[in-house]
Amino acid sequence: MQKKHESEELNLANQELAFQNEEKEKRAAELVIANQELAYQNEEKENRAAELEIANKELAYQKKEKKNRASELEIANKELTYQNEEKENRAAELEIANKELAYQKKEKKNRASELEIANKELTYQNEEKENRAAELEIANKELAYQKKEKKNRASELVIANKELAYQNEEKENRAAELVIANKELTYQNEEKENRAAELVIANKELAYQNLEKENRANELIIANKELAYQNEEKESRANELVIAIKELAYQNEEKESRANELVIAIKELAYQNLEKENRANELIIANKELAYQNLEKENRAAELIIANKELAYQNIEKEKRASELVSAYSELKKTEEYLKEYILGLEEMMFMTSHKVRQPVANIIGLSGLLDYSIEYEDLKILIDNIKKSAVSLDAFTKELTVFMEVLSSNKDK
């Protein structure tokens, strides 16, 4: 009976040992899986570290690119400053050119005012000639009055007529000289018309006045034939006319010289205006080129600003990635610590399960196996007490295991 009982206990111990070996194999498999998970997490950690290293390299490269872009932007700003200085110099040259043009316009106005003064002098001379013509008209009226007197004194003027005939011959000679002088004056007026385009109207008026003078001279010749007394007056008037002609010729020469100077000044002004227009065209072309370059610089600056914004955005993204990697690394550390604690808890739970749980269970199984045999009441009472003690021990361990699992769960939540 004792041998049978020992064999049964041995069988129970073998079964318990087989169960414990099976549990150990399961725990070993779980430990292998946990090690594989830990290796996978370490591999992920290495990958995250490699990604972080690549991100750091990219960040360093982007910082280098940012420095290059900043240096390019600085060079572009220097070029833009130089172009602005060139533009200011061109503007200063244009302002100087405008001042020179204004000065030349002022000179042109002064020349025009001088020409206007000359025209006023010519008008004054024409008025003097008209006054002389009025005096000739008055003389003609006096001549008509004297003709009336001549009719009354015809008998007295027979001898005077002979003398008058002689004086008329002299007067005809003088009139011929005046005609020649008038022709020379007409020729000079024609030359003046060719040389001074601005004095054409004045020369035509002068030619008309010369023609009127010739007519008046012819009338004067007829009057001289009729009246001897007026010869002396006509001679004085002729002398005055010669002086006026000389003065007019001198004034014509002055006008021609002024006109030549004005033509030269106009040519110089036209040449200077042409030069100014060329300078202005060059400045316009330079300003267009400068505006185009400024536009290019602005486009470059806008591209650099966009690139800087993109670089800043990438830097922010890299910083976010780095912070995510740091947080992931810290979480991985926490996971590793929790996993170590979890493995320790599992090992402790395996130990508790294999020793504290299996022993009461084995006692209950063994005692329940003894109940299959006919035993006495005292032995049954002892068996029931042992079963109760094993059940109480199992219940206490179950409570302890529940508390331990709650502690593990709270650590996992943390």
Q: How many angstroms separate the Cα of 104 from the Cα of each of 97, 118, 268, 271, 278? A: 10, 21, 10, 11, 17
Are residues 313 and 285 located together in one domain of the fold? no
pTM here is 0.27
* CA gap 338, 360 in Å, rounded: 31
Are residues 325 and 346 located together in one domain of the fold? yes
Q: Residue 376: helix, strand or coil by DSSP?
A: coil
Tell me which of 295, 323, 346 is where a domain ends. Answer: 295
**pLDDT for the residue numbered 372:** 64
Q: Between residues 278 and 228, which one has the greater pLDDT?
A: 278
pLDDT averaged over every residue in the chain: 77
Q: Tokens for 276?
A: 């100014």
Q: Tokens for 323?
A: 């912070």
Whether residue 330 has pLDDT greater than 80 = yes
Are residues 240 and 135 located together in one domain of the fold? yes
* Residue that the structure tokens 């385009």 belong to: 197
Query: pLDDT tens digit string along 39-49?
Result: 787 787 787 77
**pLDDT for the residue numbered 206:** 73
* CA-based R_g, the chain, Å: 69
Are residues 291 and 308 located together in one domain of the fold? no
Find the Cα–Cα–Cα–Cα dihedral 51, 55, 56, 61, rounded to 10°.
140
| Complete DSSP assignment for 94-107 | HHHHHHHHHHHHHH
Rounded to an integer, the average pLDDT of 104-118 is 78
Are residues 365 and 289 located together in one domain of the fold? no
Are residues 245 and 289 located together in one domain of the fold? yes
Residue 411: pLDDT band (50, 70, 90) is: low
Tell me which of 276, 295, 314 is where a domain ends. Answer: 295
Whether residue 160 has pLDDT greater than 70 = no
Domain that holds residue 374: 2-56+298-413
**pLDDT for the residue numbered 373:** 67
Query: pLDDT tens digit string along 171-189?
Result: 788 778 878 877 887 787 6
Tell me which of 245, 276, 295 is where a domain ends. Answer: 295
Task: Say how many domains are in the chain.
Answer: 2
**pLDDT for the residue numbered 28:** 73
Are residues 132 and 224 located together in one domain of the fold? yes
Whether residue 15 has pLDDT greater than 80 = no
Query: pLDDT tens digit string along 265-276?
Result: 888 888 888 888
| Helix H or strand E segment including 155 | none
* CA gap 406, 414 in Å, rounded: 12
Are residues 228 and 155 located together in one domain of the fold? yes
Are residues 221 and 345 located together in one domain of the fold? no
Least confident range of 6-10, 62-66, 76-80: 6-10
Residue among 204, 214, 205, 217 at smallest CA distance from 183? 214
Are residues 155 and 289 located together in one domain of the fold? yes
Q: How many CA atoms lie within 13 A of 224 on its CB side?
A: 24
Q: Please, is 156 exposed, middle or buried when counting C-beta atoms within 10 Å of its C-beta (0-12, 13-18, 19+)?
A: exposed
Residue 3: pLDDT band (50, 70, 90) is: low
Are residues 126 and 263 located together in one domain of the fold? yes
Least confident range of 177-191, 352-366, 387-401: 352-366
* CA gap 295, 106 in Å, rounded: 40
Kindly state whether residue 85 falls inside one of the protein's structural domains: no
